[in-house]
């Protein structure tokens, strides 16, 4: 492995750690991501971190190989956070995003009542009309607290991220709930984290107890978030003419109670008379005909092949019996390609 590869690997590891700290989604880094505001608490942070953890220290010692030094600020809109001297993150509030040109990586935080209202309004508009806020579809946009928004339910014992404030308070995330103080053992922090509700991830900046009700009332939000990511696979000059099925358009006339599909099932993109299946987990694209596209949409929404056949038959202009055979053929074809259109995984 050459020097360039080592450097790239280090950059990728740092980016993964920052993503886990911003979104709260575990798995990018095997261990904890610990953000330290006060360098004096670095040794304590090291006591919490395992071999596979990452420690981000504000104004940390650049000569310490066990930490990632950070400079700037993480909690002021319009300011910048510089990680390891190479990864620059601009911080922006959600309500400002439609009016901002994203030059570099931008963390979009949802921290106030206005932010939350705007987020839900934009999601409703996307579902109804297929219009997405352009800036949110840019590859540079990183939506904070994705674990909360996407309904990620992971054992709080994982403590995917910890945030140590300047005064020594240990928080469940950059905007989260206090679960201890410097000096507390990792075991104690875990015990206090067990009882945390998902919305506690933003309790430090917003009284959050209505957020979970709002998310529960919109079970399609995780699919909306996945659609924002799907937009990033569409060339920028084609986004105005490309529609994402399920957002403002249906190929078989879906009803509200038909969905939502799993966030991870492929998306169907339509442009004129063309239909393309996009598997965002692999980036693979497949051209399909209109009938197959309608079947894939119905399968993703309804999951039951017999129900799908009955519902989709009028759209593809065949009997329910013939439709069932077509549905099974489409499902089998994509199974052989390793693509899960049922959302079973």
Provide the residue ranges of all domains of the chain, joining segments of one domain with +.
Answer: 3-217, 236-336
pLDDT band at 61 (very low <50, low <70, confident <90, very high): very high
Q: What is the mean pLDDT of residues 196-211?
A: 81
Q: Which residues contact 206 (CB under 8 A, 6 or more apart)?
A: 111, 112, 113, 116, 175
Q: What is the mean pLDDT of residues 111-123?
A: 94
Q: Is the pLDDT of residue 306 over 60?
A: yes
pLDDT band at 345 (very low <50, low <70, confident <90, very high): low
Q: What is the mean pLDDT of residues 198-226?
A: 86
Q: What is the mean pLDDT of residues 108-124?
A: 94
Would you state the pLDDT for residue 307? 94
- SS3 of the chain: CCHHHHHHHHHHHHHHHHHHHHHCCCCCCCCCEEEECCHHHHHHHHHHCCCCCEEEEECCCCCCCCCEEEEECCCCCCCEEEECCCEEEEEEEHHHHHHCCCCCCEEEECCCHHHHHHHHHHHHHHHHHCCCCHHHHCCCEEECCHHHHCCCCCCHHHCCEEEECCCCEEECCCCCCEEEECCCCHHHHHHHHHCCCHHHHHCCCCCCCCHHHHHHHCCCHHHHHHHHHHHCCCCHHHCCCCEECCCCCCCCCCCHHHCCCCCCCCEEEEECCEEEEEECCCCEEEEECHHHHHHHHHHHHHCCHHHHHHHHHHHHCCCHHHHHHHHHHHHHHHHHCCCCCCCCC
Q: Which residues contact 318 (CB under 8 A, 6 or more apart)?
A: 326
Q: Is the pLDDT of residue 83 over 60?
A: yes
pLDDT band at 4 (very low <50, low <70, confident <90, very high): very low
Q: Name the least confident of 30-34, 220-224, 252-256, 339-343.
A: 252-256
Q: What is the mean pLDDT of residues 308-331?
A: 95
Q: Is the pLDDT of residue 94 over 80?
A: yes
Would you state the pLDDT for residue 3? 33
Q: What is the mean pLDDT of residues 125-146?
A: 95
For the chain, give the percent of residues with pLDDT over 70.
94
Would you state the pLDDT for residue 210? 80
**Contact, 278 vs 230, CB < 8 A?**
yes
């Amino acid at each position: 492995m050459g020097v360039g590869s080592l450097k790239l690997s280090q950059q990728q590891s740092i980016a993964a750690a920052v993503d886990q700290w911003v979104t709260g989604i575990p798995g990018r880094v095997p261990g904890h991501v610990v953000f330290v505001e006060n360098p004096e608490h670095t040794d304590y942070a090291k006591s919490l971190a395992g071999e596979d953890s990452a420690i981000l220290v504000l104004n940390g010692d650049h000569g310490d190989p066990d930490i990632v030094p950070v400079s700037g600020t993480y909690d002021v809109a319009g300011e910048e956070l510089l990680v390891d001297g190479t990864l620059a993150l601009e911080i922006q509030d959600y309500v400002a995003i439609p009016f901002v040109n994203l030059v570099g990586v931008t963390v979009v935080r949802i921290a106030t009542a206005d932010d939350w209202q705007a987020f839900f309004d934009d999601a409703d508009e996307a579902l109804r009309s297929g219009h997405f806020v352009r800036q949110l579809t840019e590859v540079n946009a990183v939506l904070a607290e994705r674990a909360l928004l996407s309904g990620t339910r992971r054992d709080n014992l994982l403590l995917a991220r910890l945030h140590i404030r300047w005064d020594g308070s240990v928080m469940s995330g950059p905007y989260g709930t206090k679960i201890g103080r410097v000096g507390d053992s990792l075991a104690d922090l875990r015990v206090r984290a067990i009882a945390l509700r998902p919305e506690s991830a933003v309790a430090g900046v917003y009284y959050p107890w209505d957020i979970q009700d709002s998310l529960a009332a919109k079970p399609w939000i995780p699919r909306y978030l996945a659609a924002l990511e799907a937009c990033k696979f569409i060339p920028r000059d084609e986004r105005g003419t490309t529609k994402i099925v399920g957002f403002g358009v249906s190929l078989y006339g879906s009803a509200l109670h038909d969905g939502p599909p799993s966030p991870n099932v492929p998306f169907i993109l339509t442009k004129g008379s063309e239909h393309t299946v996009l598997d965002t987990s692999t980036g693979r694209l497949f051209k399909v005909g209109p009938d197959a596209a309608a079947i894939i949409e119905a399968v993703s929404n309804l999951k039951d092949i017999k129900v799908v056949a009955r519902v989709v038959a009028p759209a593809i202009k065949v009997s329910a019996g013939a439709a069932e055979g077509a549905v099974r053929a489409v499902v089998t074809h994509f199974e052989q390609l390793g693509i899960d259109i049922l959302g079973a995984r």
